Structure 1
Amino acid sequence: MKDTTVIITGASTGIGKAIAAYFINNGSNVVMNSSNEDNLKRAFEELGSPTNAIYFAGDISKQETGKTLVRLAKETFSSVDILINNAGVFAPKPFLDVAEEDLDFYWNINLKGTYFTSQAAIGEMLKQNKGSIINIGTVLVDHAIGGFPATAPITSKGAIHSLSRQLAAEFGKNNIKVNTIAPGIIRSPLQGKMGIEDADSLAGLHLLNRIGEANEIAEAAYYLASSDFITGETINVAGGHTVGHNL
């Protein structure tokens, strides 16, 4: 994995920042992206302004952003080996209250962002006849919670799960692997944005009776990126959330 080039979206905070740190520390070249330039610059500096990383602020729901990320990766590091589609938004809202603009918001950022950035990366990976794409979904796609109404973001994440499998099927012959990581409750700024003051109070949703840490998603991403014989899979990193719950 040393000297491979990795594009990471949503890399300014939480899971994305942890993934960026993990790959940077293991010698990969990293292109960090976020829509918030101030947060992205701060994250880059907090990681030590590493010489094996650059950053570019841009809205991944816009097709041009994915193209720019790929171009910068090629110009700076000469290849596009791995894409980690981490950028996304998520918040609960009762089904009957969901408006068209809510659906547009989640589908534009979550699905279109993943779709367009993958499109740009695969175009380059085909030239190299190799590549790895890792999409970030959620365990709630396969294991819903009745007391957590979130149809708008979950349907967009479900589409990402399906996209991963289809891309794996279409481009497997080109040695391009596409997988999904489905996190459980992970300690990150996302909980605060959703109004959850004590994320640890949700520990019982996992059989291990704790919430996950962002670094544990980074470890899974690194494993999938370095594997040559896993594609089309959804890896649940959720402490047993999809198997059962503690009372």
Structure 2
Amino acid sequence: MNTDRKVLVVTGASQGLGEGFVNAYRERGWSVVGNSRSIKASDDSDYITVPGDVGDPEIARRVVNTALDRFGRVDTLINNAGIWRPGPIGSITEELYRRVMATNVDSVFFATQTAVPAMQMQGGGHIVQVLTSLVEHAVQGVPAVLASLSKGACAAATRGLAMELAHDNIRVNAVSLGIIRTPLHEPESLESKKSFAPLNRYGEVSDVVRAVLYLEDSNFVTGEISYVDGGRTAGH
């Protein structure tokens, strides 16, 4: 087991942002453990995939423990898995509520809880949350109470954990996103969503990856929420 090479754990890794994170860190020579519900097996010995619903605490723990068992450490955890289900509060079933909160909040808690002791033992680490700028600036035409509840909780936890874990040299940061071209959005809907950003365009996966890599390389940055939203937050 080579414990000198850095190790990334990323949830929601099979497509979109997660796939972008996997590729970027592998290009840097990191070993990676990736998870999603239906992720395919990897033929790369330094990229291990763990299928399953990370909203299940057992799966969340297993994803992190797979990195520890296979590579001996976890340097960065990116809590990327998320469900986006907009809708008026009256239309949200209890089943949908539970599913969104499990994926968006429970996965973050249990994966992070499992990773932190390992990071403490190895002398440091980095935790990154993926948020939405709707938490800070709601849109009247976009009823998103589930996003506000779940991602808002993760935004607060980012700052709280940054303070709690600073003395362990564990940094905790987040990226808060506007409209990004991922499978989350129907391709035909993207043109009409450009106006959400003052830059009048949507973002690309590469924009988010660059923001995360900035946070990765910035050893004096913790508790930061970096807005990758085309200026939307600044304009409110």
TM-score grouping bracket, smaller chain normalisation:
over 0.9
Contact 1:10 1:86 in 2 (8 A): yes
Contact 2:134 2:147 in 1 (8 A): no
Superposed CA offset, 1:163-216 (max 9, x none): 111111111110000011101100011012xxx732132111112111000111
Contact 1:183 1:238 in 2 (8 A): yes
Contact 1:107 1:153 in 2 (8 A): no
1:162 corresponds to which residue?
A: 156
Superposed CA offset, 1:82-135 (max 9, x none): 000000100211122223223212111100111111111112111112000000
CA shift, 1:235, in A, is 0.6
Counterpart Cα distance in 1 of 2:92 and 2:56: 23
1:11 corresponds to which residue?
A: 13
Sequence identity, in percent? 37
> Residue 90 of structure 1: SS of its match in structure 2?
coil
1:234 corresponds to which residue?
A: 225
CA shift, 1:18, in A, is 0.9
Whichever residue aligns with residue 139 of structure 2, its letter is: I
Contact 1:182 1:236 in 2 (8 A): yes
Greater alpha carbon shift after TM alignment, 158-167 vs 216-225: 216-225
Greater alpha carbon shift after TM alignment, 196-205 vs 53-62: 196-205
Superposed CA offset, 1:5-24 (max 9, x none): 00000000111111111111
CA shift, 1:3, in A, is 2.7
CA shift, 1:79, in A, is 1.1
Taking the TM superposition and a 5 Å limit, the aligned residue runs for 1:1-247 are: 3-36=5-38, 40-41=39-40, 44=42, 49-192=43-186, 197-244=188-235
Question: Which consecutive residues of structure 2, in runs of 5 or more, have no partner in the other structure?
Answer: none
Question: Cα RMSD (Å) of the superposition?
Answer: 1.6
Whichever residue aligns with residue 30 of structure 1, its letter is: V
Counterpart Cα distance in 2 of 1:70 and 1:26: 20
Counterpart Cα distance in 2 of 1:98 and 1:109: 16
Counterpart Cα distance in 1 of 2:190 and 2:117: 39
Aligned length, in residue pairs: 233
